[in-house]
Chain A
Amino acid sequence: MNLRLEDVSFTYPSGVTALEHVSLTVREGEAVALVGENGAGKTTLAKHLNGLLRPTHGGVWVGDQDTRRHSVARLARSVAFVFQNPDEQLFERTVRAEVGFGPRNFGAGPAEIEARVQAALSRLELQDFADRHPYDLHLSQRKRVAMAAALAMDTPILVLDEPTIGQDAGGVALVGGLVESLKAEGRTLVAITHDVDFCAEHFERVVVMADGRLLADGPAGEVLAQGDLLAEAAVEQPQLVRLAAALGWRETPLTVEAFVDLLAARRKDGT
């Protein structure tokens, strides 16, 4: 199932225009990262992908569903959305109820709900917290509860707003592993992230936003190599890309392995 934005502009009721003439197609099974500074329009764009916002101009399609003609509840069967701030999303009294809300709402039977809840909790290492109140948990755990709730909806498309927020090193590794396994399952992923190192390691396509427009869109290795363009969007290059540039290398290593492979190759060449 594709996601398609065609010439989308969006103006908030306050009069602030947050998106201007944005066109973007995300193909089935792609993992796309949206980067850009606070206020660039990333979250506004993401909220168009499940009908939470509807374009002032232009159109958005989830597969063949025009978001202007379908309810958010209907679109939720195709697209699950994880908010940046989990507290905007969580409302049930236990983690288990929160994660089970989506499947219950879709009319799943008790056995299926339980199976989906268990699977989602275990993927986010939250089994021990099933009976706790979400608000008794740390921000990083509440964020993982919000992600588990999205996973339990078993949608082909997932939109993640800042998935690594509040996570410590172990949490970032857990979310990275989750992104890899979702990619392997063929799910379509759109993630907003300020963590460019995380972006470089897990997303093959990068879209750069600034002032409500798309500044660049392409393979991660090409987009993240463009220091000047990223600076214009107030986005920093990943650590290893900056290091390679500082060493005078022409390549754009996106992972630690890629960097060390380049180092080994250069040694072999005697350069």
Chain B
Amino acid sequence: MIEVRGLTFTYSGTDTPALQGIDLSIPEGQLCAVVGANGAGKSTLCYALTGFVPHFFHGEMHGQVSVGGRTVATTALADLAGEIGLVFQNPFSQISGARYTVREEIAFGLENLGIPRAEMPERIGEAVELTGLSGLEERSPYALSGGQQQRLAIASMIVMRPRILVLDEPTSQLDPAGSKEVFAALRALAAGRNTTVVLVEHKLEWVAAFADRVVVLAGGRLIADGPPAQVLAAADLEQHGVGRTRYTLAARQAQARRLRPPSADLPVTLDQAREFFR
């Protein structure tokens, strides 16, 4: 579904590539998390997968990104809309400012795609349901809390039923309950609708619980790629500015103090930790 080959991108006016030699292939229906320190290239990768690089953010690009068989660099952004959705890091930057209610804001993208009116209520209802915005449909988008605005930005994208949804830190403003709802909604999209989901996320316990796959970026390069349990337990994550769950930290300290055998696999989730420390 997503094919990235030898992607290197340097923003105009800078000398250092934001991404270097990225190879990545993401199949349909996969939920892929991207982790890494701030400045590692995570947002740039989001832009490259959705065509904002190079169409909106200019620079020097080498290699190729194709989505559903179409080369992103040679396809107009307007032709990618509807097929690929991007939820930005800052939800405030995503609200159109042109609509008065949450319902109208969610419908905005559908109108632009020319979806028949008769089809809208069902689609909007589903997006509202999935993002937990029920009851807020008639509120002004600006009267919502940061977390609610973030969910509105996600609802405005999923209502278009894109085949690929890319989200840059979609839970940064959300409390744990709200974050869990968003992850569960994304999981449901990937599993139920076969949507390919790529998300940048710092909350590693959720990544471990919900993602099929984790990609680690550091200094613009892809340095690890695999199942969460394997990638997040790897020995060299810290030097790349990626955090650990407390389960992993406690297990490593227990090994260092010879309370657990050094050979045992490090836990990433609560269930794995319970086995490790049992």
Q: Could you tell me which A residues sit within 8 Å of B by CB distance?
A: 37-39, 84-85, 87, 138-141, 165-172, 194, 196-197, 234-236, 238-240, 242-243, 246-247, 256-257, 259-260, 263-264, 267
| Contact in complex: A267, B241 (CB < 8 Å) | no
- Any chain A CB within 8 A of the CB of B178? yes
Assembly CA distance A235 to B169 (angstroms)? 21
| Contact in complex: B253, A260 (CB < 8 Å) | yes
Known contacts A239-B270, A246-B274, A260-B257: A168-B243 contact under CB 8 Å: yes
Q: Contacting A243 at CB < 8 Å: which of B38, B148, B247, B259? A: B247
Across-interface contacts of A196 in B (CB, < 8 A): 176
What 1/0 flags go to B233-251 for Cβ under 8 Å of A? Answer: 0000010011111110110
Q: Could you tell me which B residues sit within 8 Å of A by CB distance?
A: 36-39, 89-90, 92, 145-148, 169, 172-178, 202, 205, 238, 241-247, 249-250, 253-254, 257, 259, 270, 273-274, 277-278
Instruction: Supply 13 A–B pairs (Cβ within 8 Å), ascending by A.
Output: A37-B176, A140-B38, A165-B173, A166-B172, A168-B37, A169-B241, A170-B241, A196-B176, A239-B205, A240-B247, A256-B246, A256-B250, A260-B254
Q: Contacting B246 at CB < 8 Å: which of A85, A140, A167, A238? A: A238
Tell me, rounded to whole Å, the shortest Cβ–Cβ distance linking B34 to chain A: 12
| Contact in complex: B177, A243 (CB < 8 Å) | no
Assembly CA distance A38 to B171 (angstroms)? 12
Assembly CA distance A240 to B273 (angstroms)? 10
| Contact in complex: B247, A239 (CB < 8 Å) | yes
| Contact in complex: A243, B175 (CB < 8 Å) | no
| Contact in complex: B250, A243 (CB < 8 Å) | yes
Q: Which residue of B lies closest to A242 (CB)?
A: B270
Known contacts A169-B37, A234-B177: A240-B259 contact under CB 8 Å: no
Across-interface contacts of A239 in B (CB, < 8 A): 205, 245-247, 270
Across-interface contacts of B243 in A (CB, < 8 A): 168-169, 172
Across-interface contacts of B36 in A (CB, < 8 A): 168
**Binding site of A, secondary structure by majority: helix, strand, loop or mixed?**
helix
Across-interface contacts of B278 in A (CB, < 8 A): 247
| Contact in complex: B176, A235 (CB < 8 Å) | yes
| Contact in complex: B241, A168 (CB < 8 Å) | yes
Please give 7 more A-B residue pairs, beta carbons under 8 A apart, in addition to A37-B176, A84-B146, A256-B246: A38-B174, A168-B36, A169-B244, A243-B250, A246-B274, A259-B250, A264-B259
| Contact in complex: A240, B147 (CB < 8 Å) | no
Assembly CA distance A240 to B198 (angstroms)? 29
Across-interface contacts of A85 in B (CB, < 8 A): 146, 173
Across-interface contacts of A138 in B (CB, < 8 A): 38-39
Assembly CA distance A170 to B35 (angstroms)? 13
Across-interface contacts of A169 in B (CB, < 8 A): 37, 202, 238, 241-244
Q: Contacting B175 at CB < 8 Å: which of A87, A171, A234? A: A234
| Contact in complex: B257, A194 (CB < 8 Å) | no
Assembly CA distance A260 to B260 (angstroms)? 10
Sorted nearest first, the 8 A-B pairs with minimum C-beta distance are A169-B243, A239-B246, A234-B177, A38-B147, A260-B253, A168-B37, A168-B38, A236-B176
Across-interface contacts of A84 in B (CB, < 8 A): 146, 173
Q: Which residue of A lies closest to B145 (CB)?
A: A38
Tell me, rounded to whole Å, the shortest Cβ–Cβ distance linking A1 to chain B: 30
| Contact in complex: B274, A247 (CB < 8 Å) | yes
Assembly CA distance A168 to B242 (angstroms)? 7
| Contact in complex: B259, A267 (CB < 8 Å) | yes
Known contacts A38-B175, A234-B175, A234-B176: A240-B38 contact under CB 8 Å: no
Across-interface contacts of B242 in A (CB, < 8 A): 168-169
Q: Which residue of A lies closest to B256 (CB)?
A: A260
Tell me, rounded to whole Å, the shortest Cβ–Cβ distance linking B208 to chain A: 11
| Contact in complex: A197, B246 (CB < 8 Å) | yes
Across-interface contacts of A37 in B (CB, < 8 A): 175-178
Tell me, rounded to whole Å, the shortest Cβ–Cβ distance linking B202 to chain A: 6
Known contacts A194-B176, A234-B175, A243-B277: A168-B202 contact under CB 8 Å: yes
| Contact in complex: A263, B175 (CB < 8 Å) | no
Q: Which residue of B lies closest to A197 (CB)?
A: B246
Across-interface contacts of B246 in A (CB, < 8 A): 197, 238-240, 243, 256, 259
Assembly CA distance A169 to B204 (angstroms)? 10
Across-interface contacts of B253 in A (CB, < 8 A): 256-257, 260
Known contacts A38-B178, A168-B38, A234-B177: A139-B146 contact under CB 8 Å: no
Assembly CA distance A169 to B246 (angstroms)? 12
Across-interface contacts of B177 in A (CB, < 8 A): 37, 234
Across-interface contacts of B39 in A (CB, < 8 A): 138
Assembly CA distance A141 to B250 (angstroms)? 29
Tell me, rounded to whole Å, the shortest Cβ–Cβ distance linking B236 to chain A: 13
Tell me, rounded to whole Å, the shortest Cβ–Cβ distance linking B19 to chain A: 16
Tell me, rounded to whole Å, the shortest Cβ–Cβ distance linking A229 to chain B: 15
Across-interface contacts of B205 in A (CB, < 8 A): 239
Assembly CA distance A76 to B90 (angstroms)? 29
